[in-house]
Structures are given as C-alpha cells and as structure tokens.
C-alpha cells in the first residue's frame, strides 16, 4: 500500500480533522464540514474499488441493520406512527453511516492514507481529548482520585460517559501499537494519561470498555492471565458492592433499571417496526433517563427486532472475520471493535449519539481495511 506523499498531505490532514470532529458536540460546524468532505471523497473511487474486500465488507456489515432501519421508518410513516422520524433525517443517516465510512476506505485504497497513518491519526485526534481532560481535572478545585464519582470529568464531549469511552479507546490503541511494532516514549505517556482519564471520568462503563479491549489484546491463554482476570473481576465486584452502600452512587443504576424495563415494554408493544428514530423521549409513560443507554435496545425500540438482529449479525460477522485473520493488526482491530461494542451496550446509541456514531463508523471502516490488507496476505508485516 502506498505511503502518504507530500502532494497528499492535505488529505491526511483532513482525516485528522475528521476523526477529531466525529467526537465533538453536534453544534460544532467542524463536525458537519469534515463529514461532508469525507463523504465527497467517495467521488475518487474507481470501479475496482467497489469490488474490493474492504468496501464490500463495510457495505454488508452496515446494510444488515441500516436497511431494516430505513424500511421500518417507511412503515412507520405508512401506518401513521406519530413518533416516526422526519423523511429528511433518513438520507442524512445514510450519508453518516455509509458515506463517511466509504470515504475513509476509498482514501486508504487510493493510497492517500495508509492503514498505519489512519490509526495514528485517530490516536492523535483522541490524544487531544486526553489533553483537554487532564487540563479540566487540574483546573477542577479540590479534584482528587478519591472523588472520582463526584468530579466526573467530561472533556470536549461535554459528558463523562463518551469522554470515558474515548479515553478507553485511546488506551487500547496505544497498547496495541506498542505490542505490534512501535516502541515510542510518547505512546507510553499517552497510555498512562488515557488510563488516568478513564479513572477521573467517573464512568464505570469506561473501565469495562478498556478491560474488554485489553482482554482481546491479552487473551487468557495461560493460567497466570486467567487468574489475573478472575482476580480483577472479583475485585471489581467487591468494589461495586462496597460503593453500593452509598445511595448516591447507585442512583444511576436504579434509573438504568427503570429505563431497561420501560424499553422492553415498548419493544413488546411494537416489536417489528418500532417507534421511530429519536422517539424515546416522546414515548408515553417515560420513566428513568431519556435514553435506553444501550445501542441494542435503542435499535429495537426505534426500528424493531429485525434491525436488532441485523446489527448483531453484522457485528458477529465482522468480529469472526477479524478473529480468523490471526494477525496482530487484526487483533488490534478486534480489540477496538470489542471495546466499542461494550461501550455501546453500556452507554450509547448508533442511531442518535453523535459521539458514538462517529467512533462506530471509524472503527468499523478501519476494521474492514485491516481485513482487506491482511486477510488474504497473513504474512505481511504489521502496518
């Protein structure tokens, strides 16, 4: 795969801008401009690009759940469901979920980005969030690690949960690069800072997200690792039971359980077509938080069980192919995917979360590029 040339430096710089922008609040114009420019990058595609492994894998994994979402939205309009999404929202969703990922893949296939430079660009973009989080923690009066659930650092995301997700993904990518090839002091510093930010975010989901990625990178293939993971799980359970004695810590858990029960009831009432994208807050009898905090439940309540089945099938398919690849770079892509799935299961939504949607598309597209680059040529050097 060709390296990034001087004449292509603007493309690489733009991608850095994009991966930084995907995690910004939607009111930031940078997010929309970078997304539109990346969608426009699909115009550089040649006929052979549409038959490549990366493009076809990405189209399959996205269409398996996106097509049912679009069909359910059409049925909601036909049946007069008052919470159906507006028609103009559907092409925007397609551009965000298909166009952005395809644009990234085309840039890699055209040689304007290498897979290595794309991963490093993503890591550099996430490192900006690390710096902002550290600055916010240092500027917070009386901030210390003992108050991690009260301080709740949220960085540029303006929310501690997506900030914690970004920090967990940063740590996983840093560890993965340290394992496969690169040995740089800056990566060690970034890893330590990212893990620190996972803690000060106050997000328990971020801790589990980071743990999922580390387990994939360092699977329990021997007794020592197995005992380490079992001990870590036991310690985490003990800490959870200990802080459970504090009612303020457990308030969010009570709300999540209320949302879980409410979501299941609404899915039971409309199992096949759902209620509509971003309809959760307007559903009658809403209790608990204003979102399910679970991408699977959100897909089911928004677009029905067929969309949920498609999303699960596509995720399993992509994970299985990365697992079968048996290459260190594919293992890193699998770790990032596993962490993203855990984060979505605990906190986010693919359909409506601006923070998570950009990360999901980017991780999926890079995983598809990894399969195309190493799947048929397993003896290639890492990156």
* Confidence at residue 24, expressed as pLDDT on a 0 to 100 scale: 55
Given a cut of 50, whether residue 206 has pLDDT beyond it is yes
In this prediction, residue 7 has a pLDDT band, given cuts at 50, 70 and 90, of: very low
Mean pLDDT in residue range 194-217 = 90
Maximal C-alpha separation, the chain: 61
In this prediction, residue 63 has a pLDDT band, given cuts at 50, 70 and 90, of: very high
Q: Is the dihedral of CA 114, 96, 26, 193 positive or negative?
A: negative
Q: Contact at 8 Å (CB) between 282 and 331?
A: no
Q: Which two tokens stand for residue 84?
A: 């159906």
Which one is predicted more confidently, 169 or 123? 169
Weakest-pLDDT range from 209-218, 335-344, 372-381: 372-381
Q: Contact at 8 Å (CB) between 345 and 165?
A: no
Q: What is the pLDDT of residues 350-362, one digit of tens each?
A: 998 888 988 899 9
Given a cut of 70, whether residue 59 has pLDDT beyond it is yes
Q: What is the pLDDT of residues 254-293, one digit of tens each?
A: 788 888 889 999 999 999 999 999 888 888 888 778 888 8
Given a cut of 70, whether residue 296 has pLDDT beyond it is yes
Given a cut of 70, whether residue 241 has pLDDT beyond it is no
Single out the residue of 169, 82, 165, 76 nearest to residue 122, CA to CA: 169
Given a cut of 90, whether residue 56 has pLDDT beyond it is yes
Q: Which two tokens stand for residue 17?
A: 């801008």
For residue 377, CA distances in Å to 52, 66, 113, 383 come to 14, 30, 19, 12
Three-state DSSP at 278 gives coil
Mean pLDDT in residue range 325-339 = 92
Q: Contact at 8 Å (CB) between 325 and 291?
A: no
In this prediction, residue 313 has a pLDDT band, given cuts at 50, 70 and 90, of: very high
Q: Which two tokens stand for residue 137?
A: 């923690």
Residue 246 backbone zone (phi > 0: left; psi -120 to 50: alpha; other: beta): beta
Which one is predicted more confidently, 25 or 182? 182
Q: Contact at 8 Å (CB) between 275 and 267?
A: no
In this prediction, residue 363 has a pLDDT band, given cuts at 50, 70 and 90, of: very high
- Alpha-helical segments (H) within the chain: 9-21, 29-40, 53-78, 89-94, 100-109, 115-139, 148-151, 160-180, 185-200, 204-217, 223-243, 247-269, 295-303, 305-325, 328-346, 354-374
Provide the terminal-to-terminal Cα distance of the chain, rounded to the nearest Å: 10
Q: Is the dihedral of CA 195, 197, 203, 206 positive or negative?
A: negative
List all residues 6 or more positions away from 331 whose beta carbon is below 8 Å from its beta carbon. Answer: 176, 216, 217, 322
Single out the residue of 131, 182, 116 nearest to residue 366, CA to CA: 116
* Confidence at residue 3, expressed as pLDDT on a 0 to 100 scale: 41
Mean pLDDT in residue range 33-60 = 80
User: What residue has token string 């096949």?
Assistant: 272
Weakest-pLDDT range from 138-152, 189-203, 219-233: 138-152
Mean pLDDT in residue range 196-217 = 90
Single out the residue of 359, 380, 357, 360 nearest to residue 370, CA to CA: 380
pLDDT over 90 percentage in the chain: 36
Weakest-pLDDT range from 8-17, 136-145, 260-269, 317-326: 8-17
**pLDDT averaged over every residue in the chain:** 82
Mean pLDDT in residue range 72-100 = 90
Q: Which two tokens stand for residue 264?
A: 């299941």
Single out the residue of 191, 237, 263, 15 nearest to residue 115, CA to CA: 15
Single out the residue of 114, 102, 112, 117 nearest to residue 49, CA to CA: 102
Q: What is the pLDDT of residues 122-166, one digit of tens each?
A: 888 888 889 888 888 888 776 665 555 667 788 887 888 899 999
Q: What is the pLDDT of residues 40-51, one digit of tens each?
A: 777 777 888 888
């Amino acid at each position: 795969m060709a390296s990034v040339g001087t004449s292509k430096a603007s493309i690489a710089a733009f991608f850095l801008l994009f991966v930084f922008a995907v995690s910004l609040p939607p009111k930031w114009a940078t997010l929309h401009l970078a997304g539109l420019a990346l969608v426009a990058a699909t115009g550089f595609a040649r006929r052979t690009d549409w038959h490549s492994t990366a493009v076809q894998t990405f189209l399959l994994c996205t269409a398996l759940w996106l097509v049912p979402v679009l069909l359910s939205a059409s049925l909601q309009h036909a049946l007069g469901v008052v919470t159906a999404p507006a028609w103009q929202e559907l092409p925007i969703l397609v551009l965000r979920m298909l166009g952005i990922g395809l644009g990234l893949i085309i840039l890699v296939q055209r040689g304007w980005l290498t897979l290595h430079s794309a991963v490093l660009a993503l890591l550099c973009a996430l490192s900006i969030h690390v710096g902002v989080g550290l600055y916010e923690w240092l500027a917070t009066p009386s901030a210390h690690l003992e108050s991690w659930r009260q301080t709740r650092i949220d960085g540029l995301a303006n929310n501690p949960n997506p900030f914690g997700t970004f920090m967990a993904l940063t740590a996983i990518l840093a560890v993965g690069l340290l394992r496969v090839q690169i040995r740089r002091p800056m990566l060690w510093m970034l890893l330590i800072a990212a893990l620190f930010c996972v803690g000060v975010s106050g997000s328990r989901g971020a801790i589990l997200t980071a743990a999922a990625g580390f387990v994939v990178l360092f699977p329990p293939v021997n007794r020592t690792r197995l005992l380490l993971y079992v001990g870590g799980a036991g310690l985490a359970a003990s800490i959870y039971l200990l802080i459970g004695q504090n009612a303020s810590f457990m308030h969010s858990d009570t709300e999540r359980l209320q949302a879980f029960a409410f979501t299941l009831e609404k899915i039971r009432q409309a199992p096949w077509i759902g209620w509509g994208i971003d309809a959760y807050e307007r559903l009658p009898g809403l209790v608990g938080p204003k979102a399910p905090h679970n991408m699977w439940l959100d897909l089911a309540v928004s677009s029905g069980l067929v969309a949920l089945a498609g999303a699960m099938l596509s995720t399993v398919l992509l994970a299985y192919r990365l697992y079968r690849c048996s290459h260190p770079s594919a293992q890193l892509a699998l770790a990032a995917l596993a962490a993203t799935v855990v984060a979505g299961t605990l906190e986010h939504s693919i359909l409506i979360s601006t923070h998570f949607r950009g990360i999901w598309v980017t991780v999926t597209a890079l995983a598809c590029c990894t399969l195309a680059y190493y799947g048929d040529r397993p003896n290639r050097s890492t990156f």
